[in-house]
Amino acid sequence: MRAILLSGAIALLFSLLGTRFAIVQFTKLGYGQEIREDGPTTHRTKRGTPTMGGVAIVISVLVGFIAAKLLTGDAPSATAYLLLFLLVGMAAVGFVDDFIKVFMQRNLGLRAWSKMVGQTLVAVGFGVVAIHPAMENDDGITPAADQLSFIRDFGPHFLGGDGLLFWLGGALLLAIFWVMVTGTSNATNLTDGLDGLLAASSAIVFAAYTIISIWQNNQRCGRPSVEIGTCYEVRDPLDMAILGAAISGACIGFLWWNASPAKIFMGDTGSLALGSVLAGFAIMSHTEFLLIILGGLFVMETSAVMMQVGWFKLSRKLTGTPKRIFRMTPIHHHFELLGWEQVTVVIRFWIITGLCVAAGLGIFYAEWVATI
């Protein structure tokens, strides 16, 4: 527990001070945000606000986690290294995207296919290592399981066959990891459109995963007094709790400067990194489908975009006149165009995130109670 508190506190403090330093330096260097021309007119005043603040978040997480491990004398686990790989790897993809926006003054950044290539390399690299037999601990558990899971594993083992079935199962499992990592990182990227929206929402969801990881650590299989039927076969839950606290703390420290009116934006550097590591938490805590509930806000944002694009194309094909379901997507812009103040939208979306997290944690705990 001491390492968890140290990690969160150090990351928060470093993020609070580091983000302020980033604002000063990025302003001097002219790393200002470009604003989409078809966005709400109220956002045009944000042009030139320093971006790439996700660098401060990522560094704060690394400092908080590493400092906590050094102060407690524990070595990081394979699970921690893999989650940090997701964080840093996807942050690098986002950094390139932000770099292009800033220096080429092109709001779209990387081309879609280029960004997808980068995301795919990170996601697949993570997946291959996470299920590799060389990553098994003394109990024979790899960082990621080869089954689907809601709160516990269910269904067939993807790597349970021989020969061709083994390779096909492995390819399908990697495809699932790819969908989760790229899909969640794109979802958080879409959500990052209003001051403080993604930073606070991410802090809430990662705090939930910190609680889940603490519980799984206390109820992990192999501990004395923990019954077999109620225990969790999760590798390194304590390290996930430590890292979850660091990410949550770093997001809160960043939020101090990112709250309306934002002095800095996290950019794709932060949004892609947070989404990818969130998917990593779901995979390694064996709660893949529970993420849909915990990250309900991100699901809502992504679903709205998919519905908007799908209906636009379908209506144009059927009637010749494209139509829209929402005034603008991502959906937070829809409410802005309805006349809601930006702060009102953000706070109400925070409430939605809190309700989703409360529901997810309630389901998680209720499942455990049902197994007693």
* Cβ proximity of 15 and 56 under 8 Å: yes
* Cβ proximity of 138 and 221 under 8 Å: no
Element (H, E) at 5: helix 2-29
Residue 258 annotated as part of some ligand binding site: no
What is the spatial distance between Cα 162 and Cα 232, in angstroms, rounded to a whole number?
27
Q: Give the CA distances from residue 271 to residues 149, 152, 226, 282, in Å, rounded to whole numbers and listed in that order.
A: 25, 28, 38, 17
Q: Is 125 exposed, middle or buried, given 0-12, 13-18 or 19+ CB atoms closer than 10 A?
A: middle
Query: 356: Cβ–Cβ under 8 A, 6 or more apart, which residues?
Result: 293, 294, 295, 296, 297
Q: Is 234 exposed, middle or buried, given 0-12, 13-18 or 19+ CB atoms closer than 10 A?
A: buried
Nearest C-alpha neighbor of 280 from the set 135, 125, 96, 54: 125
* 93: its two tokens: 């993809």
What is the spatial distance between Cα 351 and Cα 338, in angstroms, rounded to a whole number?
19
Q: Give the CA distances from residue 158 to residues 153, 155, 168, 178, in Å, rounded to whole numbers and listed in that order.
A: 12, 9, 8, 15
Residue 218 annotated as part of some ligand binding site: no
β-sheet bridge partners, residue 232: 220
| Sign of the alpha-carbon torsion through 325, 327, 331, 334 | negative
What is the spatial distance between Cα 56 and Cα 305, in angstroms, rounded to a whole number?
29
Nearest C-alpha neighbor of 186 from the set 68, 78, 97: 97
Instruction: Specify the 3-state DSSP secondary structure of 153.
Output: strand
Binding positions are 189, 268
Binding positions for Mg(2+) are 189, 268
